[in-house]
């Protein structure tokens, strides 16, 4: 009875070790490595695209602020009567 128990235990352990080794070997195959690398590159690409999108939004906001602060945004706060020659001008 003891011999049958230890034989079954040995067979079970052997099967478990073989499955682990096969799993590790499958992860090192070229197809598996290429798939993992491809996913990593795709993730980096997505993160870079998201980063540059955020940079463009911030750049547009800052450009609008600078244009407004320097008066180069086209809004000179001029009124139509400023260009009418009949309107008396007051010195500033």
**Per-residue pLDDT tens for 48-73?**
999 999 999 999 999 988 888 876 76
State the residue for tokens 């602020």: 65
Closest by Cα among 26, 33, 30 to 41: 33
Q: What is the mean pLDDT of the chain?
A: 84
pLDDT of 67 reads 83
Assigned token pair, 85? 């020659």
Is the per-residue pLDDT at 89 higher than 70? no
């Amino acid at each position: 009875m003891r011999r049958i128990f230890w034989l079954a235990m040995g067979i079970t352990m052997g099967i478990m070790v073989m499955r682990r080794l096969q799993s590790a070997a499958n992860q090192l195959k070229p197809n598996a490595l290429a798939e993992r690398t491809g996913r990593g590159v795709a993730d980096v690409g997505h993160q870079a695209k998201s980063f540059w999108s955020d940079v463009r939004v911030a750049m547009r906001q800052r450009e609008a602020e600078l244009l407004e602060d320097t008066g180069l945004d086209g809004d000179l706060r001029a009124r139509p009567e400023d260009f009418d020659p009949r309107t008396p001008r007051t010195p500033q």
